[in-house]
Amino acid sequence: MTPRTLSGRIVIATHNKGKLAEMRELLAPYGVDATSAGELGLPEPDETGFMFSENAAIKSRAAAAASGLPALADDSGVCVDALDGAPGLFSANWAGPGKNFAPAMARVEEELRKRGATAPEQRRAHFVSALTVTWPDGHEELFEGRVFGTIVWPPRGPRGFGYDPIFLPDGHARTFGEMESHEKHGVPADGSEALSHRARAFQKLASALLAKNRA
Ligand code: ITT
Q: How many C-beta atoms surround the C-beta of residue 182 within 10 A?
A: 13
Look at residue 152 and tell me if it is in a domain: yes
**Is 88 part of any domain?**
yes
Q: Do 127 and 175 touch, CB atoms closer than 8 A?
A: no
Does 4 reside within a domain? Answer: no
**pLDDT reading at 214 higher than 60:** no
Q: What pLDDT score was predicted for residue 211?
A: 65
Q: What is the pLDDT of residue 4?
A: 86
Take atom 11 of ligand 1 and give the residue whose Cα is closest. Answer: 75
Q: Is residue 18 situated within a structural domain? A: yes
Q: What is the CATH number of the domain that holds 16?
A: 3.90.950.10
> Residue 108 domain-assigned?
yes
How does residue 1 score in pLDDT terms, banded at 50, 70 and 90? low
Instruction: Output the pLDDT for position 31.
Output: 85
User: Which residue owns the Cα nearest ligand 1 atom 17?
Assistant: 92
- Atom 28 (ligand 1) nearest CA: 164
Cis peptide bond upstream of 3, omega within 30: no
In this predicted structure, the answer to whether residue 212 has a pLDDT above a threshold of 70 is no
Establish if 148 belongs to a structural domain: yes
Cα distances from 157 to residues 1, 42, 57, 160, 189, in angstroms, run 46, 32, 32, 8, 26
pLDDT, tens digit, 9 for 90 and up, residues 19-77: 999 999 999 999 899 999 999 999 999 999 999 999 999 999 999 999 999 999 999 99
Q: How confident is the model at residue 202 (pLDDT cuts 50, 70, 90)?
A: very high
Query: From atom 18 of ligand 1, which residue's Cα is the shortest distance away?
Result: 92
Does residue 3 sit within a domain? no
Q: Is 14 in the pocket of ligand 1 (CB under 6 A)?
A: yes
Q: Cα of 1 to ligand 1 centre, how many Å?
A: 33
Write the pLDDT tens digit of every residue in 85-132.
Answer: 999 999 999 999 999 999 999 999 999 999 999 999 999 999 999 999
* Integer Cα distance of 123 and 118 in angstroms: 7
- Domain holding 172, by residue range, is 9-213
**HEC profile for the chain?**
CCCCCCCEEEEECCCCHHHHHHHHHHHCCECEEEEECCCCCCCCCCCCCCCHHHHHHHHHHHHHHHHCCCEEEEEEEEEEHHHCCCEHHHCCHHHCCCCCHHHHHHHHHHHHHHCCCCCHHHCEEEEEEEEEEECCCCCEEEEEEEEEEEECCCCCCCCCCCCHHHEEECCCCCCHHHCCHHHHHCCCCCCCCCCCHHHHHHHHHHHHHHHHHEC
92 touches ligand 1 (CB under 6 Å): yes
Q: pLDDT-based confidence at 2, cuts 50/70/90?
A: low
* Catalytic residue positions, numbered: 75
77 lines ligand 1 (CB under 6 A): yes
Q: How far is the CA of 78 from the centre of ligand 1 (A)?
A: 9
- Res 215 pLDDT > 60: no
**pLDDT tens digits, 124-142:** 999 999 999 999 999 999 9
CA of 92 to the centre of ligand 1 (A): 6
pLDDT at 3: 75
> Could you give the number of structural domains in the chain?
1
Residue 19 inside a domain? The answer is yes
